[in-house]
């Protein structure tokens, strides 16, 4: 439900507090006493303690070494994307906007569906429409307040001036570092002949590049950043006029008379 309002405080206990309570129980504390001290329900404390013990934990283990994800309610961990994956989506949308190609809400939902499908997520409820739901979109925007909806407008001077010397230099610095990382070679420009030479990347280098890309799969894999379309040719056509052959014709005679007069 897009505008759902909570009716209880269930699931709002910080995971750090639950982990602290489990540690006190393992040290010999009583459920009722510890629950009153840290202000959480006794049943909640008992459930997480039993969960810790059934997953192989003992009273001699240090609960502080257990990840906080183990003390978060299940419904909070059943999101389609993880925090890292949602961060990559957020960065993609911001980058596309900086390139003056912001995505509409429909395009964002389609991107989310393609991204989730590429990651092998369970999105059976999106299969029919082949797009993410509106509820997911609004929840995603609430979780990422740096994103906002804006009406398209003309490119401003402030945004256009972002294409400046420091930005271009940073691009070529990154490009040079990638060349050295994945090809193991440098590009040399001949001073006399002006020719360029660059060694071809080996199959091992290409395999390393493919492996590193698949290890960090991002939205740009399923939808590359938008690019400006090629410039259209000159669409202004010359008007066809009446051709005149200035030979020994009446037209030439009239032209000569006007010239001499």
pLDDT tens sequence across 138-176: 989 988 999 988 876 666 666 666 777 887 888 888 888
* The predicted structure's pLDDT at residue 154: 66
* The predicted structure's pLDDT at residue 231: 65
Please provide the average confidence, as pLDDT, over all residues in the chain: 75
Helix 15-26 crosses helix 31-38 at what angle (to 10 degrees)? 150
pLDDT surpassing 70 at residue 57:
no
**Number of helical (H) and strand (E) elements in the chain, helices listed first:** 11, 2
Quote the CA–CA distance of 74 and 7 in Å, as a whole number.
18
**Is 52 in contact with 70 (CB distance < 8 Å)?**
yes
**Which residue(s) pair with 196 in the sheet?**
189
Task: Provide the 10 A C-beta neighbour count for residue 95.
Answer: 13
- Listed in sequence order, the residues at least 6 apart from 23 whose beta carbon sits closer than 8 Å to its beta carbon are 63, 64
Most confident of 60-64, 192-196, 210-214: 60-64
pLDDT surpassing 50 at residue 197:
no
Q: Which carries the bigger pLDDT value, residue 39 or residue 242?
A: 39
**Which residue(s) pair with 188 in the sheet?**
197
* The predicted structure's pLDDT at residue 149: 84
Helix 31-38 crosses helix 42-54 at what angle (to 10 degrees)? 120
- The proportion of the chain whose per-residue pLDDT surpasses 90, expressed as a percent, equals 16
Quote the CA–CA distance of 173 and 193 in Å, as a whole number.
25
Smallest Cα–Cα separation from 157: which of 100, 231, 91, 229?
100
- The proportion of the chain whose per-residue pLDDT surpasses 70, expressed as a percent, equals 65
Quote the CA–CA distance of 83 and 246 in Å, as a whole number.
80
pLDDT surpassing 50 at residue 199:
no
Which region holds residue 149: left if phi is over 0, alpha if psi is between -120 and 50, else beta? beta
pLDDT surpassing 80 at residue 117:
yes
* The predicted structure's pLDDT at residue 107: 92
pLDDT surpassing 90 at residue 244:
no
Cα–Cα distances (Å) from 193 to 59, 190, 200, in that order, read: 75, 6, 21
Helix 134-143 crosses helix 83-98 at what angle (to 10 degrees)? 90
**Is 77 in contact with 66 (CB distance < 8 Å)?**
no
pLDDT digits (tens, 9 = 90+) for 61-116: 677 777 777 777 665 556 788 888 999 999 999 988 888 788 889 999 999 999 99
CA 145 to chain centroid, in Å, comes to: 15
pLDDT surpassing 60 at residue 14:
yes
Q: Which carries the bigger pLDDT value, residue 134 or residue 246?
A: 134
Q: Which carries the bigger pLDDT value, residue 123 or residue 55?
A: 123
Quote the CA–CA distance of 257 and 99 in Å, as a whole number.
64
pLDDT surpassing 90 at residue 252:
no
**Which residue(s) pair with 197 in the sheet?**
188
* The predicted structure's pLDDT at residue 205: 47
C-alpha torsion sign, points 125, 128, 131, 133: negative
């Amino acid at each position: 439900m897009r505008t759902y309002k909570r009716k209880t405080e269930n699931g709002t206990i910080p995971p750090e507090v639950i982990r602290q309570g489990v540690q006190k129980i393992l040290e010999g504390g009583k459920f009722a006493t510890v629950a009153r001290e840290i202000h959480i329900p006794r049943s909640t404390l008992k459930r997480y303690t039993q969960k810790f013990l059934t997953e192989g934990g003992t009273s001699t283990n240090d609960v502080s070494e257990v990840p906080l994800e183990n003390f978060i309610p299940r419904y909070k961990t059943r999101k389609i994307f993880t925090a890292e994956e949602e961060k990559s989506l957020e960065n993609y949308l911001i980058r596309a906007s900086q390139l003056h190609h912001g995505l509409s809400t429909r395009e964002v939902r389609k991107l989310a569906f393609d991204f989730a499908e590429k990651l092998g997520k369970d999105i059976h409820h999106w299969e029919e429409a082949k797009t993410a739901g509106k509820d997911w979109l609004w929840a995603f925007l609430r979780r990422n307040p740096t994103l906002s909806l804006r009406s398209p407008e003309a490119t401003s001077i402030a945004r256009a001036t972002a294409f400046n010397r420091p930005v271009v230099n940073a691009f070529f610095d990154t490009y040079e570092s990638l060349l050295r990382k994945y090809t193991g070679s440098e590009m040399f420009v001949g001073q006399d002949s002006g020719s360029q030479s660059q060694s071809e990347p080996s199959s091992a280098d290409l395999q390393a590049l493919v492996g590193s890309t698949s290890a960090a799969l991002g939205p740009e894999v399923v939808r590359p950043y938008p690019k400006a379309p090629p410039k259209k040719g000159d669409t202004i056509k010359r008007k066809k006029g009446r051709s005149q052959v200035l030979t020994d014709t009446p037209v030439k005679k009239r032209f000569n008379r006007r010239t001499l007069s």
